[in-house]
Amino acid sequence: MKVFVFILLLFSLDSASQKLKTNGYDKYLRKWRIETYPVNLKSTPDIKMDISFASADTAFFLQLMGSGIGTNTVDKNSEVVFLLDNDSTVTVKSSSLQSIDYGNISPAYRHEYLISFSDIESLGQHNLQALRKYSIGGFDDIYIEKKNEVKLRALANFFITELKKVKPLPQKVILIPPGFPGGNDVLLNFLNRNLKLLPDLKVGENKTAVVQFMVAADGSITDLQVKQSAGIALDNELLRILKRMPEWKPALENGKGINYTITQPLKFYRTAAGLKIQF
């Protein structure tokens, strides 16, 4: 119990001692920019690693800087994987090709990674145990000492707190895709019920068409087209049937109807009993 209270106290003091390095409008980027001072994750004779967070309007960044182990050029989309104490991971990707600096006594790096707000929240909920930093040609595993495990958690929470002071935070998007009234089984039944027998398909033969259409926010169907042909006769028959569809249930984004484009393969197949359509 005493150890738990001590950790909480340490976490609070670390957060309180933080200050922002940048907080204001960047006239060159033409965006509001917030950046934290870096905190140290590792400092030994073999490795020095610091970490910081930054944002420019709605984009969020994580920055790693240091020397020793991990000092390698990273390519665009090179990953850093953070292992947290609940065995979950957070993965960030490099924003561009980034090299190392040979101007100092020893080579050093300062690499920037794109990170989502939800991943910053995850880093603020659990302590960091280790990270894997990928580079061109390989990766380095870096383990965090017990005394430093809480530092990234504290920094992430401090960053979130400061973001709340200056701008609204991104909302989690809850997307419900559109749907045919009654579901896919009813849609297939509708398609087959309206399908006319076509003579150019032999028993045992099948052909696939890919159709695309937009379900508008009011449920109406627009922009109907064939993206992959199954043949002129089958394409025309498919378009004829789809144009007769009733209104769909529209897609909902956080409860609000939105336009949503659907791309759907549909396979015609011929049996002795007749012609059918299936997904």
Question: Which residues, 6 or more positions from 130, have their beta carbon under 8 angstroms from its beta carbon?
Answer: 82, 83, 141, 142, 143, 144
Average pLDDT value for residue range 32-45: 92
Q: Which residue has the higher pLDDT, 271 or 5?
A: 271
Q: What pLDDT, on a 0 to 100 scale, did the predictor assign at position 2?
A: 43
pTM (2 d.p.): 0.57
Q: What pLDDT, on a 0 to 100 scale, did the predictor assign at position 199?
A: 64
Average pLDDT of the chain, as a whole number: 87
Per-residue pLDDT for 4 more than 90? Answer: no
Q: What is the pLDDT of residues 92-119, one digit of tens each?
A: 999 899 999 987 678 999 999 999 999 9
Q: What pLDDT, on a 0 to 100 scale, did the predictor assign at position 138?
A: 92
* Residue with token string 């603020």: 124
Task: Report domain extents, the chain.
Answer: 2-166, 175-278
Q: What pLDDT, on a 0 to 100 scale, did the predictor assign at position 239?
A: 93
Average pLDDT value for residue range 130-158: 94
Contact predicate 48/39, CB 8 Å: no
Q: What percent of the chain has pLDDT over 90?
A: 62
Average pLDDT value for residue range 244-252: 93
Choosing among 3.30.460, 1.10.760, 1.10.443, 3.30.1150, the CATH entry for 175-278 is: 3.30.1150
